[in-house]
Chain A
């Protein structure tokens, strides 16, 4: 187990290293630079651009920049945001809470709804309701998040007029928890919908397979109730792949949160991403990539550990 952890941690570090290299290459090799953005169209002159590049260290040779940059990253020095004029790590960390709140709630919701619907459909396999749910799930998966979000805004904010369409809290009443809750409804639903649908399909097929196995037949023969077999025995046996799938989905929540946060004006990392792309705020983008990489490899590791913990058969000889 310890050897496994060590090996995985080494892989994790290697992955992050590759990621940093890729990010560096993309940001430095491409034409156009932050100087134009920093100076703006009014103050821009080629001479000033050179000066800005010199101050930022962008005029040195690429390998030199790469080495300097890697060393800085290792020392925890992730650069200063061109736009905010503050440490980029600080700018990103400030947004972390909002993103975690949104993504965490959406993750919990999609897990609860997805698995419930999947189990429900598996128990009624082949029925009209099952077909309806499955086709519904496919339709939800085929719906892009941004369109679903606009649709929910139409429904909740425009036609019903009961839910706010943007922001995180009412202005001047940031402390009011009840009021803040209403701002969460639409973004959380938008972010959760697709994952709930794919989890439902996945859980349904996992359950379907388990329900044909011998131990289920035995349990049935011994007089266990249908509900007990379904929710305890069968779901228990199918839990490992479902949870693994859910953990791996975590990475894609990051992608979803970019779109959802931008659409709903949610002040999290996703919105910061699109804003920083528009501003060419490279240090911030770098920190965000690093954060995305860490989330992804951690989620993978968590999925692996969970599988090993819950199913001893998966331990390698």
Chain B
């Protein structure tokens, strides 16, 4: 455990600052910045070149009204990544709040909140999102709210687990013995400790949110055309798949590559940040130093839940599961 600091910050920074991390972060930033840098108009209708195949003039081809797919894909990155990021921040904030409340208060508060979390984790969130979509007009802001509100549970559970553990840590006792107030304890000692974990959950949640946005927009209840997102570009592509398959390939590839990139960042950080927590939740932990390079997949899934001991009705997520969303 010597390779990470007490606060968790430097470790995360190193992970995100690794070559892979720089490539991924740089790529995402570039995606968001490019629409302003390139002389492409995502809304320009060109009836001369409807459903044109990729060419020198239109690198990724054009859609059913002759709009340039590359331009729309790049602008769509802003929507998809932006909504994903905002929803992630909301989900993590809510999860931290609930998790910390449950962890510090304990007792009845804890029991009630954790039942709520169990319930939320069990119910397929796409149903909840669609329910809300049936009553709220679609758009970016409702999307952020609904994705955030249906995705805070995993964060709450992890934060609660680490808060409980921090609360009983020896240094907490020491600080308390020295007369530190509860507020000072949380601010100075516990929050910095949580930061590392929050970054890790944030990475997982970011890919979940991206996938959620894409799925809802694909189904037609998210961001409405003509504003492009990766999801609604695919919705449009579906109808033209027999005549213009290129419309489907690029947006889908964009989503998949982004999720894989985020997953590989998560793989770097997850085992490093979560071992103590995992031990508390009853999972096997990886003893290997995070910097050694074990066979890749073993870190992707973490280890299976131990079978001994009573289970709660839903096993906690294995700590090192792939930093990927559940299926939808």
Contacts and interface: CB of A to CB of B under 8 A. Distances in A.
B21 interface: no
Contact of A8 (B128, B313, B327): B313
Interface stretch (B152-160, B163-171, B304-312): B304-312
Interface in A24-44: 26-27, 30-32
Interface string A173-214: 000000000000000000000110010011011101100000
A153 interface: yes
A165 B315 CA distance: 38
A300 interface: yes
A208 B249 CA distance: 36
Interface string A257-285: 01100110000000001101110101001
Given A27-B131, A141-B322, A292-B123, A146 B241 contact: no
Main secondary structure, interface of A, reads: helix
A168 B65 CA distance: 31
B133 interface: yes
Contact of A154 (B211, B248, B326): B248
Nearest to A137: B297
B296 A147 contact: no
Interface string B205-229: 0010001001100111100000000
A27 B303 contact: no
Contacts of A30: 132, 135-136
B297 A314 contact: no
B134 A19 contact: no
Contact of A204 (B127, B207, B297, B309): B297
A205 B256 contact: no
Interface of B: 119, 122-128, 130-137, 207, 211, 214-215, 218-221, 234, 237-238, 241-242, 245, 248-249, 251-252, 255-256, 259-260, 263, 284, 295-298, 300-305, 307-311, 313-315, 318, 322, 324, 326-328
Interface in A236-274: 238, 240-242, 244, 248-249, 251-256, 258-259, 262-263, 273-274
Contacts of A48: none
A274 B313 contact: no
B305 A15 contact: no
A26 B122 contact: no
B220 A194 contact: no
A122 to B, nearest CB: 10
A121 B252 contact: no
A194 B328 CA distance: 9
A304 B312 CA distance: 9
Interface string A1-38: 00000001001000100110011001100111000000
Given A32-B135, A240-B307, A242-B304, 18 more contacts: A30-B135, A138-B322, A142-B263, A147-B252, A150-B238, A150-B241, A151-B249, A158-B241, A238-B304, A241-B305, A254-B127, A255-B127, A255-B327, A256-B328, A273-B130, A277-B130, A314-B309, A316-B310
A234 to B, nearest CB: 12
A165 B242 CA distance: 10
8 contacts: A139-B260, A144-B252, A144-B255, A202-B304, A204-B297, A276-B134, A280-B134, A296-B122
B219 A259 contact: yes
Contacts of A230: none
Interface string A93-115: 00000000000000000000000
